[in-house]
């Protein structure tokens, strides 16, 4: 039994080794050979066997006998050439019907000339009549050709429908370009502003004081910088063939089974947004998954899909412009919306529709800016500072700048809005943040005494005793978090939680968007954030809790999110050059020398006048231990490292450091060999406490 099975398996295996193409070729060659034999038999050249075949087929097919070898030759050659990869069985069936229908037509036209097969089909004439029987046979003939060739017939009446579809695809979309982009920034507001400045040239720019909180009488001498110091003109963006891109998007989505209807096209400074409406029942996730396919079809990278557009039942596809347009800060500051806005209002830039975007820091109330190196973070900070200088005098706004990199904010050194020179040391930055916390507490005491809920209600109607806004700008948070992470995080979180009502606001930036820098506590309390271009989707989620920043173009291209927005909003940030920054800062310092001593906290004993700020910039970062050490020196009436080591149970290094702090503050005298240091402060010694040290 086992031998038979092996033999049978070996036979089947040999048959399976024959290539399917070889089988087809053998059948085709046999068909051609049989056709040649039939032709020879018709001329009595095939011997007795051929004569028998001829008589049988002639009786069966009549005049149609000569069609049989011709059709067989055509079928054989077609199979060998493999012009059409059709099934051989279907082809032979179609050929058979073709011969039968042809014989029926011959028998109807020429009776008794179609053979037996023809007479059978010709008998249809008795049922349908002459004309109808011809129609039936011609119908079978055409169907046989279609079946044999396996080729569909395309009728001409489909052509108009195809043209109609083509016209729908190539319909002209509505293109929207704002006037500011079309004219390169020379809007009506810009021209009007230039005309007004030409008339008022040389006059103080006090008329540029904006509505909002009232400015005290002491701020009337402040000269606002003119807008002529800033450039406003920019080149028109180059966008390419908008209609062709719209058709590419439509065809690409159609090829994936997503029919869409194209909508309006809006041109922005750096990107152009194509809107589309998908058909009912289409999941947006299918469109979002085709990001790379659309990028390939459009030959554009990177593209961003916004599905859906907030407030609209549309999907937006944002494609980079061939040549972008620069958004000048000067063109944005000329808008009436900026001039009549509150004190802390500033322009972020232009959105994907090319419209200006203004935001109010007092409503945020704090801002976090993060992005990779070279993405435009510093430019955004400079544009923010200049916007504040164009709206606020030192009486309405004071600034505290922390610049660990030492070079970004140094240009503002000496402007009257600063409460202290730009801070560049991490240790002093921690002290400055502690001062701001103390200032916040002092302001709350002042608001409580005045019966006011916040700084707006406190300043309303006041002419003299005005509480200015305080904006703290930290240019590089990562450097501070690396050195003084716990102190800095704690100070930022506390200010972010409580400082809004007192008019204290934070603007924090970093170029390292990691969870070690942008911690969960900081993100939870600073809800307004700007994400510039980052390297990965992980960094984008660290900043925004959403993906998308990794697809930005850089150069100020940002995603902005706040508590007022449900989804991140794409904005092209305003650009400001170093020459413009220097010109504005120089004008403010030259025309407005540092003056106003401001009662910063609103109280005489804790305000800026009593130099309390310098106390916070000292070295006593170990506040708790310093107070304990001061108490030890007070009770003992002397100061030495060994005394502090024993009483506080600390090492020599920390004890010596505490002594140095006391010496810097004038509490104790300098070292005098092995003797204890002299205590300068007039402390009352508690009798019986701290006997002589051994």
80: burial class by Cβ within 10 Å (0-12, 13-18, 19+)? middle
Q: Is 46 annotated as a binding residue?
A: no
A 10 A CB-CB count for 188 gives 11
Q: Do 655 and 662 meet the contact criterion of CB atoms below 8 Å apart?
A: no
Per DSSP, what are the bridge partners of residue 484? none
Q: Do 310 and 179 meet the contact criterion of CB atoms below 8 Å apart?
A: no
Sheet hosting strand 315-320, strand order edge to edge = 175-176, 260-267, 271-278, 315-320, 304-306
DSSP state letter for 350: E
660 membership: H or E segment, kind and range: helix 652-664
Q: Do 48 and 67 meet the contact criterion of CB atoms below 8 Å apart?
A: no
Query: Pairing mode, if any, of strands 356-360 and 304-306?
Result: unpaired
Q: Is 375 annotated as a binding residue?
A: yes
What are 527's two structure tokens?
Answer: 């809800």
Contacts of 162 (CB under 8 A, 6+ apart): none
Q: How far apart are CA 631 and CA 665, in angstroms?
A: 15
Count Cβ neighbours within 10 Å for each residue of 389-422 and write b for 16 or more, e otherwise. bbbbbbbbbbbbbbbbeeebbebbebbbbbbbeb
Q: How far apart are CA 522 and CA 477, in angstroms?
A: 11
Q: Is 378 annotated as a binding residue?
A: yes
Q: Is 490 annotated as a binding residue?
A: no
Q: Is 671 annotated as a binding residue?
A: no
Closest Cα partner for 519 from 540, 542, 546?
542
Helix, strand or coil, per DSSP, at residue 356: strand
Q: Is 372 annotated as a binding residue?
A: yes
Q: How far apart are CA 694 and CA 687, in angstroms?
A: 18
From start to end of 414-562, where are the E strands? 469-474, 504-510, 528-531, 557-561
Closest Cα partner for 398 from 412, 379, 380?
412
Q: How far apart are CA 549 and CA 540, in angstroms?
A: 5
Q: Is the dihedral of CA 632, 633, 638, 641 positive or negative?
A: positive
DSSP state letter for 649: T
444: burial class by Cβ within 10 Å (0-12, 13-18, 19+)? middle
Chain CA centroid to CA 31, Å: 67
Q: Do 495 and 506 meet the contact criterion of CB atoms below 8 Å apart?
A: yes
Q: Do 431 and 617 meet the contact criterion of CB atoms below 8 Å apart?
A: yes
Closest Cα partner for 433 from 501, 478, 489, 479?
489
573 membership: H or E segment, kind and range: strand 569-573
**Rg (the chain; Cα; Å):** 45
Q: Do 444 and 514 meet the contact criterion of CB atoms below 8 Å apart?
A: no
Q: Do 264 and 354 meet the contact criterion of CB atoms below 8 Å apart?
A: no
- Would you call the peptide bond into 684 cis, given omega within 30 degrees of 0 as the criterion? no
Per DSSP, what are the bridge partners of residue 530? 369, 560
Query: Binding site membership for ATP: which residues?
Result: 371-378
Query: Binding site membership: which residues?
Result: 371-378
């Amino acid at each position: 039994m086992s031998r038979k099975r092996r033999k049978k398996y070996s036979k089947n295996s040999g048959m399976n080794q024959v290539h399917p193409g070889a089988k087809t070729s053998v059948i085709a060659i046999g068909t051609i050979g049989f056709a040649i034999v039939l032709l020879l038999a018709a001329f009595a050249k095939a011997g007795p066997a051929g004569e028998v075949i001829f008589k049988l087929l002639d009786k069966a097919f009549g005049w149609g006998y000569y069609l049989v070898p011709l059709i067989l030759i055509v079928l054989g050659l077609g199979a060998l050439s493999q012009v059409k990869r059709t099934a051989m069985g279907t082809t032979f069936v179609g050929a058979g019907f073709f011969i039968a229908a042809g014989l029926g037509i011959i028998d109807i036209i020429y009776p008794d000339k179609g053979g037996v097969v023809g007479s059978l089909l010709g008998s249809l004439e008795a049922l349908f009549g002459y004309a109808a029987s011809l129609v039936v046979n011609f119908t079978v003939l055409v169907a046989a050709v279609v079946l044999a060739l396996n080729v569909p017939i395309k009728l001409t009446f489909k052509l108009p429908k195809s043209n109609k579809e083509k016209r729908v695809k190539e319909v002209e979309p509505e293109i929207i370009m704002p006037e500011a982009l079309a004219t390169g920034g020379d809007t009506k507001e810009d021209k009007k502003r230039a005309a007004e400045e030409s008339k008022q040239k040389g006059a103080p720019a006090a008329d540029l004081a904006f509505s909002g909180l009232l400015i005290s009488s002491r701020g009337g001498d402040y000269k606002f910088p003119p807008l002529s110091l800033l450039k406003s003109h920019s080149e028109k963006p180059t966008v390419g063939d908008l209609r062709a891109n719209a058709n590419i998007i439509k065809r690409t989505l159609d090829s994936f089974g997503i029919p869409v209807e194209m909508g309006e096209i809006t041109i922005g400074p750096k990107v152009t947004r194509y809107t589309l409406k998908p058909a009912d029942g289409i999941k947006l996730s299918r469109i979002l998954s085709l990001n790379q396919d659309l990028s390939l079809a459009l030959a554009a990278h990177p593209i961003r899909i916004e599905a859906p557009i907030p407030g609209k039942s549309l999907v937006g596809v944002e494609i980079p412009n061939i040549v972008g347009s620069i958004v000048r800060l000067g063109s944005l500051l000329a808008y009436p919306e900026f001039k009549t806005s509150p004190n802390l209002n500033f322009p972020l830039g232009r959105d994907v529709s090319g419209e200006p975007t203004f935001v109010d820091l007092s409503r945020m109330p704090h801002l976090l800016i993060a992005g990779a190196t070279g993405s435009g973070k510093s430019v955004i900070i400079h544009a923010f500072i200049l916007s504040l200088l164009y709206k606020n005098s030192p009486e309405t706004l004071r600034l505290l700048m922390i610049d660990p990199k030492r070079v970004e904010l140094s240009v503002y050194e000496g402007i009257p809005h600063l409460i202290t020179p730009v801070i560049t040391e991490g240790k002093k930055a921690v002290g400055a943040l502690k001062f701001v916390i103390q200032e916040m507490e002092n302001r709350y005491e002042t608001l409580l005494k005045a019966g006011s809920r916040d700084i707006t209600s406190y300043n309303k109607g006041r002419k003299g005793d005005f509480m200015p806004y305080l904006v703290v700008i930290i240019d590089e948070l990562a450097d501070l978090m690396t050195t003084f992470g716990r102190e800095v995080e704690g100070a930022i979180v506390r200010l972010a939680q409580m400082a809004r009502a007192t008019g204290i606001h934070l603007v924090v930036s970093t170029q390292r968007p990691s969870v070690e820098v942008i911690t969960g506590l900081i993100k939870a309390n600073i809800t307004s954030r700007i994400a510039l271009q980052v390297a990965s989707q992980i960094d984008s989620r660290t900043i925004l809790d959403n993906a998308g920043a990794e697809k930005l173009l850089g150069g100020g291209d940002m995603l902005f999110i706040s508590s007022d927005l449900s989804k991140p909003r794409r904005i092209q940030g305003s650009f400001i050059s170093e020459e413009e920054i220097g010109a504005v800062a120089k004008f403010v310092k030259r025309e407005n020398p540092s003056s106003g001593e401001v009662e910063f906290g609103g109280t005489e004993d804790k305000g800026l006048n009593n130099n309390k700020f310098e106390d916070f910039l000292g070295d006593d970062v170990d506040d708790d231990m310093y107070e304990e050490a001061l108490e030890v020196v007070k009770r003992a009436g002397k100061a030495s490292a060994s005394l502090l080591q024993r009483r506080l149970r600390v090492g020599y290094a920390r004890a010596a450091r505490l002594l140095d702090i006391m010496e810097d503050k004038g509490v104790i005298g300098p070292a005098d060999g092995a003797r204890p240091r002299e205590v300068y402060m007039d402390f009352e010694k508690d009798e019986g406490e701290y006997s002589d040290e051994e």
